[in-house]
Amino acid sequence: MDSERLRAELQRAGEPGYRVDQVWRWAAAGAPSYAAMTNLPSRLRELLEERVPFSSLVVANEVHARDGTVKTLMHTADDRPLEAVLMRYGDGRRSLCLSSQSGCPLTCRFCATGQMRFGRNLSSSEILDQALHFRRQGAVDHAVFMGMGEPLMNLDAVLEACALLPSLGISQRHTAISTVGWLPGIERLTAYPAPLRLALSLHAADDDLRSTLMPVNDRYALGDVLEACRRWYEAKHRRVFVEYVMLAGINDRYEQAIALARRLDPRIFKVNLIPFNPTDSEYRGSSREAIAAFRSALEAAGIAVTVRLTRGREIAAACGQLAVAADGAAAPAAPARM
């Protein structure tokens, strides 16, 4: 819900300041409406129903995958579209993929979000309302800012949201912020005291290829970004997760694995290889054999490596697939091209 509007309406009604905390505790516990907040006077619940929308977002569509993944298309009050995802895992984890912007201004070539029109930064209330939507459906315990947008370009709102996620059951140690290498934001996060996790979208070991795939590299070169990540590690004593999407014939050769290993300090970085999820781009995903060989080359060099378990690909909810068409509808999944 819009926290500023809630606070203003409560003040206008002459309510004590603790009412804001009462409402938030109910919402964070999964209350479906103001009517469920039974320790609030009935007249106040009626006033809030009338004057303060229970969510700052409107759900436009929701789709479910066979693996339990749920993707929800939402719109802000000024009709900006965004998508958020709930991922269920066999070990019981219920992880949220949250968006920080409507669209993204950074136009990474292989990412569907980068190809849609950028709207604006989301407010902290709009970020939290994505999480609250899924909290009303059950317990949640992990969050990743890997949805629409570059979180470090909207860091104030993201950090405000992160500070309140523990009320929903998501500790800051279980919250990861992903960046394409937005250097000022990494530096700010390094000085921020909370134990958040940092993930770096890398996708190439040399500046020329990385600039082709990710134009932001022209602004913040890879060497400078890796140095900022080193400072993060020294301040936090927590490894940086490197996200590396596997693109057939582009960045998946043995020589490129060796070059990547040479750039990464194994004490600081852990690599997460991501099978490419189909979009409308010209790229194809690497074969299982190519991914396995790439992984082996990194491990032989002492780099810790995992291969991401793909969730929600069939509903275009997987990494790099979140996008909204020009008419505001959720973009369909593109057919796989292997």
pLDDT tier at 29, thresholds 50, 70, 90: very high
Kindly state the average pLDDT of the residues 306-330. 57
Of the residues 11, 37, 54, the one at which a domain ends: 54
Whether residue 250 is contained in a domain is answered as: yes
213 and 114 in a common domain: yes
Instruction: Give the tens place of pLDDT for each residue, 229-240.
Output: 999 999 999 999
115 and 103 in a common domain: yes
Rounded CA-CA distance 73/94 in Å is 19
Kindly state the average pLDDT of the residues 116-134. 95
Rounded CA-CA distance 212/278 in Å is 19
Lookup result for tokens 């040399």: 206
Q: Give the pLDDT of residue 140.
A: 97
SS3 40: coil
44 and 165 in a common domain: no
Q: Give the pLDDT of residue 230.
A: 98
Q: Decide: residue 62, CB within 10 A, 0-12 exposed, 13-18 middle, 19+ buried.
A: middle
CA angle 128, 131, 133 (to 5 degrees): 110
Q: Give the pLDDT of residue 233.
A: 97
Whether residue 324 is contained in a domain is answered as: no
Kindly state the average pLDDT of the residues 241-255. 96
Q: 278 or 80: which carries more pLDDT confidence?
A: 80
Instruction: Give the tens place of pLDDT for each residue, 157-210.
Output: 999 999 999 999 999 999 999 999 999 999 999 999 999 999 999 999 999 999
Would the pTM of this model clear 0.85, i.e. be above it?
A: yes
Domain that includes residue 47, residue range: 1-54
Whether residue 320 is contained in a domain is answered as: no
Instruction: Give the tens place of pLDDT for each residue, 261-297.
Output: 999 999 999 999 999 876 666 889 999 999 999 999 9
Of the residues 54, 76, 95, the one at which a domain ends: 54
Q: Look over the chain and give the mean of its residue pLDDT values, rounded to a whole number.
A: 91
In this structure, is the dihedral angle defined by the CA atoms of residues 258, 264, 265 and 267, taken in order, positive or negative?
Answer: negative
Q: Give the pLDDT of residue 311.
A: 52
Instruction: Give the tens place of pLDDT for each residue, 45-79.
Output: 999 999 999 999 999 999 998 888 999 999 999 99
117 and 45 in a common domain: no
Question: How many structural domains are present in the chain?
Answer: 2
Whether residue 47 is contained in a domain is answered as: yes
Whether residue 326 is contained in a domain is answered as: no
Task: Please list the active-site residues.
Answer: 83, 319
